[in-house]
Amino acid sequence: MDATAAYPPQQTRSNLAGIGWMLVTGLFFVAVNGTVRWIGDDLPAAQSAFLRFVLGLLLLALPLARALRTGFPAPVWRRFVLRGAIHVCAVVLWFYAMARIPVAEVTAIGFINPIVVTAGAALFLGERLGWRRVLAIGVALMGALIVLRPGVRDLEPGHLAQLCAAVCFGSSYLIAKQLTRVAPATTVVAMMSLTVTVGLAPLAALSWVQPTLPQLVALALAALFGTAAHYCMSRAFQAAPMTVTQPVVFLQLIWANLLGVLAFGEAVDVWVIVGGAVMIGAISWITWREAQLARRRASALRIDEPGQHA
How far is residue 229 from each of residues 25, 31, 44, 98, 222, measured CA to CA in Å?
Answer: 5, 9, 24, 18, 10
pTM: 0.79
Residue 247 has pLDDT above 80, yes or no: no
pLDDT (tens digit, 9 = 90+) per residue, 69-101?
988 898 999 999 999 999 999 999 999 999 888
How far from each other are the two terminal CA atoms of the chain, in whole angstroms?
A: 26
Which one is predicted more confidently, 301 or 40? 40
Burial 144-159 (b: 16+ CB within 10 A, else e): bebbbeeeeeeeeebb
Strand partners, 153: 150
Could you say which DSSP state residue 17 is in? H
| C-alpha–C-alpha distance, residues 114 and 283, integer Å | 7
Give residues with Cβ within 8 angstroms of 49, minimum separation 6.
88, 91, 92, 94, 95, 196, 200, 204
Using a 10 angstrom Cβ sphere, with 0-12 exposed, 13-18 middle and 19 or more buried, the burial of residue 3 is exposed
At 202 the pLDDT is 95
pLDDT (tens digit, 9 = 90+) per residue, 273-299?
898 889 888 878 877 777 776 677 666
Task: Give the model's confidence band at 305: pLDDT under 50 very low, under 70 low, under 90 confident, else very high.
Answer: low
| C-alpha–C-alpha distance, residues 216 and 130, integer Å | 47
Residue 4 has pLDDT above 50, yes or no: no
| C-alpha–C-alpha distance, residues 7 and 21, integer Å | 21
Averaged pLDDT for residues 146-158: 85
Cβ–Cβ < 8 Å for 249, 282:
no
Packing angle of the helix pair 45-59, 74-98 (nearest 10 deg): 130
| C-alpha–C-alpha distance, residues 140 and 144, integer Å | 6
Per-domain residue ranges of the chain? 10-304
At 308 the pLDDT is 47
pLDDT (tens digit, 9 = 90+) per residue, 167-217?
998 888 888 878 878 888 778 888 888 999 999 999 999 989 999 999 999
3-state class of 71 per DSSP? coil
Strand partners, 150: 153
